[in-house]
């Protein structure tokens, strides 16, 4: 999830919404990264999810499912993708990092900087 957020920050670093809405490559890349984040959320244990209700697990899985299942039909609302990538995920990142900080990890493990 952190890696996906990092990738999205890179995609949107110097892109206006108008430019994003005109660039199919940026749209595809961002939809892929958001779906990957949702897929990762689906693999988080129920116990961990319950311990961290501040993270919208169901919403994350839901957007992934919608992206994956309607992509072929060209029905993605890129205004929503823009909001998720530029507002919601950056706000969610500290919550994910805080939750991950509670997991005992090997000393040589570090989360990617975002």
In a domain, 39, yes or no: yes
Assess if residue 18 is contained within a domain: yes
Active site residue 69: yes
Which of 43, 52, 61, 69 is the catalytic position?
A: 69
Per-residue pLDDT of the chain (114 residues; tens, 9 = 90+): 999 998 999 889 999 999 999 999 999 999 999 999 999 999 999 999 999 999 999 999 998 988 887 755 568 889 999 999 999 999 999 999 999 888 876 777 776 665
The number of folded domains in the chain is 1
Taking CA 87 as the corner, what is the angle to CA 82 and CA 88, rounded to the nearest 5 degrees?
Answer: 100
What pLDDT is stored for residue 42 in this prediction? 93
- Say what the pLDDT of residue 114 is: 55
Task: Report yes or no on 109 lying in a domain.
Answer: no
Check the CA dihedral 71-75-79-80 and report its sign.
Answer: negative
Return the pLDDT at 111: 64
Q: What is the pLDDT at residue 76?
A: 85
Tell me, yes or no, if 52 is annotated catalytic: no
| pLDDT at residue 82 in the model | 94
Which structural domain, as residue segments, surrounds residue 11? 2-101
In the three-class reduction of DSSP (H, G, I as helix; E, B as strand; rest coil), residue 105 is classed as coil
Q: Classify residue 111: in a domain, yes or no.
A: no
Domain presence at residue 71? yes
**If you write DSSP's letter for every residue of 50-98 in order, what string do you get?**
HH-TTS-HHHHHHHHHHHHHHGGGT---HHHHHHIIIIIHHHHHHHHHH
Taking the mean position of all CA atoms in its chain, how far away is CA 80?
13
Q: So what's the pLDDT on residue 96?
A: 93
Closest CA to 55 of 14, 106, 105, 5: 5
Question: Is position 88 within any domain?
Answer: yes
| Annotated catalytic residue, options 7, 25, 43, 64 | 64
Q: Identify whether 106 is part of a domain.
A: no
* pTM for the full predicted model: 0.84
* Residue 114 covered by a domain: no
Cα distance between residue 65 and residue 68, in whole Å: 5
């Amino acid at each position: 999830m952190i890696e996906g957020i990092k990738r999205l920050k890179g995609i949107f670093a110097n892109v206006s919404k108008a430019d994003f809405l005109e660039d199919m490559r940026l749209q595809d890349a961002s939809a892929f990264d958001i779906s990957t984040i949702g897929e990762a959320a689906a693999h988080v244990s129920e116990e961990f999810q319950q311990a961290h209700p501040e993270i919208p697990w169901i919403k994350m899985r839901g957007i992934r499912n919608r992206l994956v299942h309607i992509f072929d039909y060209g029905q993605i609302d890129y205004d929503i993708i823009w909001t998720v990538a530029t507002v919601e995920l950056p706000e969610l990142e500290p919550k994910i990092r805080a939750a991950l900080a509670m997991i005992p990890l090997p000393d040589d493990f570090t989360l990617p900087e975002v």
